[in-house]
């Protein structure tokens, strides 16, 4: 019986063709048993995310200028200012979306990559659930960028008050985009393949 494959584009279950590449009859995409170069592409994107994460937290994300005076704020500085202003729910939201979620995503992706390379069979089911969680929550990392964009669009007071996004916002957006691509490139089926090969090698 032929092994069924799932189209990555439209999720249609297909059966592989003999002697040629399998094409999805619904959307026309090429259907493969595993994503090509999944681990190498994911490693490259995760390393890029780590590199961008430093300027994203060190460089200013937003600059608030009133009557020509003011100072730029980093992510941590902005959360601290919100906390000092008594807006602790908003400060908590910014901190979790800007610091907590990216850190957890990078740590989770790093764990998945290392254990897959090692061929570990440790907590395979839980690691699969972890991958699905990382893939799902990735889009919510952009909450504070959305907030800054809305704030810049709404607060238009001409020469009295100006709000400008900083270079840190660009780096942080890069972190979010790279981690989203990394989660999409990673193939969780490779965890099970690597663990199976390791178990077979140990049994010989």
Q: What percent of the chain has pLDDT over 70?
A: 81
CA distance 197 to 190: 10
- pLDDT band at residue 88 under the 50/70/90 scheme: confident
Q: Kindly state whether residues 79 and 178 are assigned to the same domain.
A: yes
Q: How many domains does the chain have?
A: 2
| Residue 11 lies in domain | 1-33
Q: Kindly state whether residues 83 and 169 are assigned to the same domain.
A: yes
CA distance 89 to 161: 25
pLDDT (tens digit per residue) in 121-167: 999 999 999 999 998 886 666 665 665 565 555 555 455 556 677 78
Q: Kindly state whether residues 5 and 28 are assigned to the same domain.
A: yes
Query: What is the reported pTM?
Result: 0.82
Q: Kindly state whether residues 58 and 28 are assigned to the same domain.
A: no
| Residue 33 pLDDT greater than 80, yes or no | yes
Q: Kindly state whether residues 43 and 81 are assigned to the same domain.
A: yes
Q: Are 14 and 24 in contact (CB under 8 A)?
A: yes
Cα–Cα distances (Å) from 55 to 50, 60, 62, 93, 177, in that order, read 10, 9, 13, 21, 15
Q: What pLDDT, on a 0 to 100 scale, did the predictor assign at position 50? A: 95
Name which residue leads in pLDDT, 170 or 39. 39
């Amino acid at each position: 019986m032929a092994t069924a494959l799932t189209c990555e584009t439209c999720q249609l279950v297909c059966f592989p063709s003999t002697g040629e590449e399998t094409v999805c009859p619904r959307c026309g995409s090429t259907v493969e048993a595993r994503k090509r170069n999944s681990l190498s592409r994911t490693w490259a994107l995760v390393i890029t995310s780590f590199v961008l994460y430093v300027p994203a937290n060190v460089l200013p994300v937003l600059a608030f200028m009133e009557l020509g005076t003011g100072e730029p704020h980093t992510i941590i500085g902005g959360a601290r200012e919100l906390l000092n202003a008594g807006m602790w729910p908003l400060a908590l939201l910014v901190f979790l979306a800007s610091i907590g979620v990216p850190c957890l995503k990078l740590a989770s992706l790093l764990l998945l990559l290392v254990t897959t390379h090692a061929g570990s069979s440790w907590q395979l089911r839980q690691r699969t659930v972890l991958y699905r969680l990382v893939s799902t929550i990735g889009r919510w990392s952009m909450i504070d960028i959305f907030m800054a964009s809305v704030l810049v669009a709404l607060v238009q007071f001409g020469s009295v008050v100006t709000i400008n996004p900083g270079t840190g916002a660009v780096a942080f957006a890069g972190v979010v985009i790279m981690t989203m691509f990394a989660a999409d490139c990673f193939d969780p089926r490779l965890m099970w393949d690597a663990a199976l090969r390791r178990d077979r090698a140990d049994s010989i």
